[in-house]
Amino acid sequence: MSAAKRIRMADVAELADVSVSTVSHVLNGTRFVAEETRTRVEQAATSLGYLIRNRRESPVGPTLGLALTGASNPYLSELILGVESEARRAGYAMLFCDTHDDARTERDAIALLLSRRVDGIILAPTEAWQQHTLPLLRRQHTPYVLVDRFAEAPCDQVGTDSESAASQLVEHLLKHRHTRIGMLVGLRGLSTSVERLRGYRRAHQTAGVPIRPELLRDGESSVAGGRRATLQLLRQGGMTALFSANNAMTIGALLALREEGIVVGKDLALVAFDDLEWGEAMTPPLTAAAQPFHAMGARAVQLLSRRLADPLASREIVRLPASLEHRRSCGCEQPVLVS
C-alpha distances out from residue 18 to 8, 11, 30, 33, Å: 13, 10, 16, 11
Neighbours of 259 (CB within 10 A): 12
Q: Is the pLDDT of residue 233 over 80?
A: yes
pLDDT recorded at residue 339: 44
Q: Distance between CA 228 and CA 205 in Å, rounded? A: 28
pLDDT recorded at residue 46: 79
Residue 120: closest CA among 64, 71, 182, 47: 64
Residue 70: closest CA among 115, 118, 124: 124
Q: Which amino acid is at 339?
A: S
- Secondary structure class of 121 (helix, strand, coil): strand
pLDDT recorded at residue 52: 57
What are the tens digits of pLDDT across the range 283-319? 999 999 999 999 999 999 999 999 998 888 899 999 9
pLDDT recorded at residue 14: 86
The pairing of strands 323-325 and 120-123 is: unpaired
The pairing of strands 269-273 and 317-320 is: unpaired
Average pLDDT, the chain: 88
Q: Is the pLDDT of residue 37 over 80?
A: yes
Residues of the chain above pLDDT 90, percent:
68
What are the tens digits of pLDDT across the range 82-131? 999 999 999 999 999 999 989 999 999 999 999 888 999 999 999 899 99
Residues of the chain above pLDDT 70, percent:
89
pLDDT recorded at residue 71: 65
- Of 31-40, 149-158, 189-198, the one with minimum mean pLDDT is 31-40
pLDDT recorded at residue 139: 87
Q: Distance between CA 21 and CA 24 in Å, rounded? A: 5
94: Cβ–Cβ under 8 A, 6 or more apart, which residues? 63, 64, 65, 66, 83, 84, 87, 88
Q: Is the pLDDT of residue 338 over 80?
A: no
Q: Is the pLDDT of residue 5 over 70?
A: no
Q: Is the peptide bond before 210 cis (omega within 30 degrees of 0)?
A: no
Q: Is the pLDDT of residue 55 over 50?
A: no
pLDDT recorded at residue 13: 85
More reliable by pLDDT, 194 or 26: 194
Q: Is 291 exposed, middle or buried (0-12, 13-18, 19+ CB in 10 A)?
A: buried
Q: Distance between CA 153 and CA 220 in Å, rounded? A: 24
pLDDT recorded at residue 278: 85
Instruction: Quickly state the pLDDT bin for 15 (edges 50, 70, 90).
Output: confident
- Secondary structure class of 93 (helix, strand, coil): strand
305: Cβ–Cβ under 8 A, 6 or more apart, which residues? 34, 90, 92
Q: Distance between CA 290 and CA 220 in Å, rounded? A: 20
pLDDT recorded at residue 141: 86
What are the tens digits of pLDDT across the range 199-211? 999 999 999 999 9
Instruction: Quickly state the pLDDT bin for 197 (edges 50, 70, 90).
Output: very high
Burial 47-64 (b: 16+ CB within 10 A, else e): eeebeeeeeeeeeeebbb
Q: Is the pLDDT of residue 264 over 90?
A: yes
